[in-house]
Amino acid sequence: MNSASNSSQTANSSFTMDDFAKALETHDYQFQKGQIVQGKVFQIDHDGAYVDIGGKSSAFLPRDEAALRAVTDLSEVLPLNEKLEFLIIREQDAEGQVTLSRRQLEIQHIWEKLATMQENSQTVQVKVIGVNKGGVTVNINSLRGFIPRSHLAERDNLEALVGQSLTAGFLEVDRSNKKLILSQRLAARSSNFNLLEAGQLVEGKVTGIKPFGVFVDLDGVSALLHIKQVSQKFIESLDKVFQVGQSIKGIIIDLDEGKGRVALSTRVLENYPGEVLENFAEVMTSAEARANRASAKSE
Report the distance separating Cα 170 and Cα 101, nearest Å.
Answer: 28
**Which has the closest alpha carbon to 92: 151, 144, 26?**
26
Query: What count of Cα atoms within 13 Å lies in the side-chain half-sphere of residue 22?
Result: 5
Report the distance separating Cα 180 and Cα 144, nearest Å.
Answer: 7
Cα dihedral 116, 122, 127, 128 sign: positive
Q: What is the DSSP letter of 292?
A: H
Query: What count of Cα atoms within 13 Å lies in the side-chain half-sphere of residue 45?
Result: 4
pTM above 0.95, yes or no: no
C-alpha dist (Å) from residue 226 to 16, 231, 266? 83, 10, 10
pLDDT tens digits in sequence order for the chain, 299 residues long: 444 444 333 334 455 656 555 555 555 447 888 899 999 999 999 899 999 998 778 899 999 999 988 888 898 899 999 999 999 999 888 777 899 999 999 999 999 999 999 888 788 999 999 999 899 999 998 899 999 999 998 888 899 999 999 989 999 999 989 999 999 888 877 777 778 888 999 999 999 899 999 999 887 778 899 999 999 999 989 998 999 999 999 999 998 766 667 899 999 999 999 999 999 999 999 999 999 887 777 65
